[in-house]
Homo-oligomer: A and B are copies of this chain.
């Protein structure tokens, strides 16, 4: 998917919602457990109930991988039913030396090799340039590089500062910017520190930011938009637990839709406030 197509989808759907598919068999409704592939059944129902309200889906690869071969089969089937007008994100946090990152790119971007055809993948930048660039060689595909995350350990290294006071996550953005463009690179920026978006936007004014941490992790949507939104919207805000686990009953898809509707409405308001639509 191109940047312009993503922007067009955001404007027409009046939403910048990304739905996280961190599908955990211990948290899905009991009545699905007799299905041949409960994880896929769950995902398919969630996707059907929410696809007009969101612009992206983000399966968290660890949740599939934890079930080995079977989990990878659930992932493959899920990838197949993701709607074409939604940007698909393999939340995999991969990254290795050049020849190995190339293999990871085959895994997530080349359906002839792996059965998977994601639009993008999340990348850990620790190993530098050759760990990122193999993902940029695929036309229309994206690398979403970790910059400033929202988890407990995020500041262990991400705010390590050089003598000029520049933090590691700023150095990451500045260097990664030189390997691609805002047409094939995004950054992960956690929602829990709204004001940090001001710093991020100094380094990456035009890039899309993938923003986890609104809702369950405590980030505020209004803050994220105030400090992070740009003229193209420029943010994809992820919500997982609040949507997919809204109910553990037979009404789980309906309740997921209700939660997605609420978020879509809040997002529409923000898009209007900030003049994107």
Contacts and interface: CB of A to CB of B under 8 A. Distances in A.
Given A66-B104, A101-B62, A128 B72 contact: no
Residue in A93, A106, A129, A161 whose Cβ sees the most chain B Cβ within 10 Å: A93
Interface residues of A, number: 60
Interface string A197-221: 0000000000000000000000000
Given A126-B126, A163-B162, A66 B103 contact: yes
Interface stretch (A1-9, A110-118, A248-256): A110-118
Contacts of A66: 103-104, 106-107, 110, 113-114
A126 B146 contact: yes
A67 to B, nearest CB: 6
Interface stretch (A11-19, A30-38, A47-55, A147-155): A147-155
Interface in A152-199: 152-158, 160-163, 168, 171-172, 175
Contacts of A154: 127-128
11 contacts: A22-B100, A62-B103, A68-B113, A71-B107, A93-B124, A97-B151, A98-B151, A128-B154, A131-B153, A160-B162, A168-B168
